[in-house]
Chains A and B, each alone.
Chain A
Amino acid sequence: MASKTLSPEFKLIADWIHTQSRVLDLGCGDGQLLDYLIQHRSITGYGMEIDPQKNIKAIERGINVIQSNLNSHDICDYFDEDSFDFVIMTQALQVVSRPDLLLDEMLAVGKQSIITFPNFGHWRNRAQLFFGGHMPQNKSLPNPWYNTPNIHLCTFNDFEDLCEEKDIEIVARTVVNSRHEPTFAMRFAPNWLGEIALYRVQRKT
């Protein structure tokens, strides 16, 4: 069953999704999260994915998946305002060409957005740069600097500053380590100790 192999990150996201909501998953991969949400939250909605092989997998799962490049097509070309209760984007904010504009679009077509990304400000990254003098390369950032999809890495603080600037309200935030476990210490120094953050945001009313 999908639920048994569901990644911890997806489990955390699923906790935020209420039943029968409409969901758009940007960069939905093979559709695992949507599949889980359909089965356990009775949601409806769509996934968007650029990778052909992942598209095929998603179709096999019975997911409604639109093959689209998030960098060349606006989500607003496809969907009207407030079409979704949730627009989810997991581990993809840092790979798009303009995360700030995408965030605007996500919050245009959806009432709330759920975004997850690796924290560039984690102490290990800082240490690699500070002491080693190298761009960080580790479990959550496995690629070398010259060949990485992660072109817009940021820290939790950076992201929160962007939200502030854009008048975006952070409804909830969960900070976890690479095994997706929250630790006690992270509550006091999330930008140092958190490896991955899950944000739930909405437009300020």
Chain B
Amino acid sequence: MTDEIGIVTPQKLHVSTPLEMVSGSTLPQYDLAYETYGSLNTDKSNAILICHALSGNHHVAGQYEGESTKGWWDGYIGPGKPIDTNQFFVVCSNNLGGCHGSTGPASINPLTGKVYGPDFPIVTCKDWVHSQNTLRQHLGIDAWAAVIGGSMGGMQVLQWAIDYPDQIRHAIVIAAAPKLSAQNIAFNEVARRAIMTDPEFHEGRFIEAGTTPKRGLALARMLGHLTYLSDDMMGSKFGRELREGKLNYNFDVEFQVESYLRYQGEKFATKQNFDANTYLLMTKALDYFDPAADFDDDLSKALSKATAKFLIISFTTDWRFSPDRSHEIVKALLDNDADISYAEVNSQHGHDAFLLPNDHYEGVFRAYIDRIHAESNQQTKTKSGGA
């Protein structure tokens, strides 16, 4: 039986300890916006951290008072759902540099009293994990039963397993890669150029200028969408279908696929009010992500200290982070004799598949989460037995 989480309210953690960042900058203080679902058990062994993707945020499940839209992974989190909130305490925070409540470029810089804008320091995946670890301590959790994420979130999971091996028992890495390819970086660069060359960008000080680089942001989002969908999917969803049923021989929207992309871009830039500087920061963090770089470019070495058990999932038509990229992670974990399972899910939805319903995906996910639940129970028993 599945039920709904219902109304949720975001919370905020204010951290006044300065954060030393990988870039060399220091963030004197910061806020982390987060949400939680379910309840933490007495020995605090049932906590799961969800890491969000590029344009995501901490609103993973449930809905806000007076709003009808649900969190971005509501289908997988809730009572009776694969991540069962009757069993687990689920946490998700908005990444630092984000624009949905955590300190980011749209926040006020306490040193100047003005909006950070382009002065917000470059954040990396390592910084995110570092700040999330502060949230873990704040919540009084010794170790996450699991850290789970897709795409950029999956990379964050890898970083967690490498940086805090004792604080993570299971790592679920979905549709991710151990680092970006030249092609991935190239797409990000085009997205950034679209934003930065928008006349409304104002060198990143668009908030102070009282405007937003909507066109650039919309273009960046359109480009992003291209990489999230598979060729097959676009073909079956739009084909060469025409909006008005005939060619007009002009530059207006003629094909349905054009209409779809424009709509997605528009929605992102206006309705979702995504901060353009955040978009730049997130894509940069993706480009910089390369945990093997600190270990002689050897991913196996990078993962050698990881003690978590892993579940890696990829999707057949995902060309942004293809199954081959997941293979690299699998291989590195096998080199370390790690506990790992890997599933390559058949889906026509490309990179987007990690957010969509799919029987195989859900089956694997549910089976693995049940295992984590059984282990958590075991741990509770051992602890109470020993006490």
Contacts and interface: CB of A to CB of B under 8 A. Distances in A.
B252 to A, nearest CB: 44
Nearest to B371: A62
Interface in B332-348: 334-335, 337, 339-346
Interface stretch (B31-39, B137-145, B277-285, B360-368): B360-368
Interface in A48-77: 52-53, 55-60, 62-68, 77
B334 A52 contact: no
A53 B359 CA distance: 10
A31 to B, nearest CB: 10
Given A64-B339, A66-B341, A55 B364 contact: yes
Contacts of A57: 367
B331 interface: yes
A106 to B, nearest CB: 16
Contact of A56 (B327, B334, B363): B363
B371 A78 contact: no
A66 B330 CA distance: 9
Contacts of A78: 330-331, 334
Contacts of B346: 52
A79 B300 CA distance: 12
Contacts of A62: 371
Nearest to A78: B334
A58 B360 CA distance: 13
Nearest to A62: B371
Taking each of B334, B335, B368, which has the highest tally of chain A beta carbons within 10 Å of its own beta carbon?
B334
Contact of B364 (A59, A66, A77): A59
B198 interface: no
B371 A60 contact: yes
Contacts of A63: 341
B363 A64 contact: no
A178 interface: no
A52 B337 contact: no
A140 B336 CA distance: 39
B344 A67 contact: yes
A64 B341 contact: yes
A41 to B, nearest CB: 17
Contacts of B360: 52, 56
A143 to B, nearest CB: 24
A46 interface: yes
Contact of A44 (B337, B340, B363): B337
A137 B166 CA distance: 56
Nearest to B366: A56
B331 A77 contact: yes
Nearest to A65: B341
Nearest to A79: B334
Interface of A: 44, 46, 52-53, 55-60, 62-68, 77-80
In the complex, the 5 A-B pairs of residues with the closest C-beta atoms, listed nearest first:
A59-B367, A56-B363, A52-B360, A60-B367, A66-B342
20 contacts: A52-B346, A52-B363, A52-B364, A55-B341, A56-B363, A56-B364, A57-B367, A59-B341, A59-B364, A59-B367, A62-B371, A63-B341, A64-B339, A66-B330, A67-B343, A68-B342, A68-B344, A77-B327, A77-B331, A80-B335
